Amino acid sequence: MLDFVPNHMGLDHPWVEDHPDYFIAGTELDRARVPQNYTWVKRKQGDLILAYGRDPYFAGWLTRSSSITLTRPCERR
């Protein structure tokens, strides 16, 4: 069985380091309000908070993935 989820990437994917702008970023306030939806990600170029991969109707549950933002044309290709 294949579970294809094109709008999530693993937290260890090279894009996290090279293209963090591809992901939904969070803030300390986001993480304080809904910690189940955000995580700190360690990077060589500086740590950042990213949203966990999740269904929009439920809390974050894909704790080894992060959601890709689909607001820019390059992510929608």
Q: Tell me what the mean pLDDT of segment 17-31 comes to.
A: 92
- Residue 32's DSSP bridge partners are none
Closest among 46, 44, 26 to 36, alpha carbons compared: 26
- Read off the pTM: 0.75
Q: Given a cut of 80, is residue 60 above it in pLDDT?
A: no
d(CA 71, CA 56): 15
Q: Given a cut of 80, is residue 17 above it in pLDDT?
A: yes
Sign of CA dihedral 26, 28, 31, 33: negative
The more confident residue out of 52 and 40 is 40
Quick one: pLDDT band at residue 71, thresholds 50, 70, 90? low
pLDDT at 77: 55
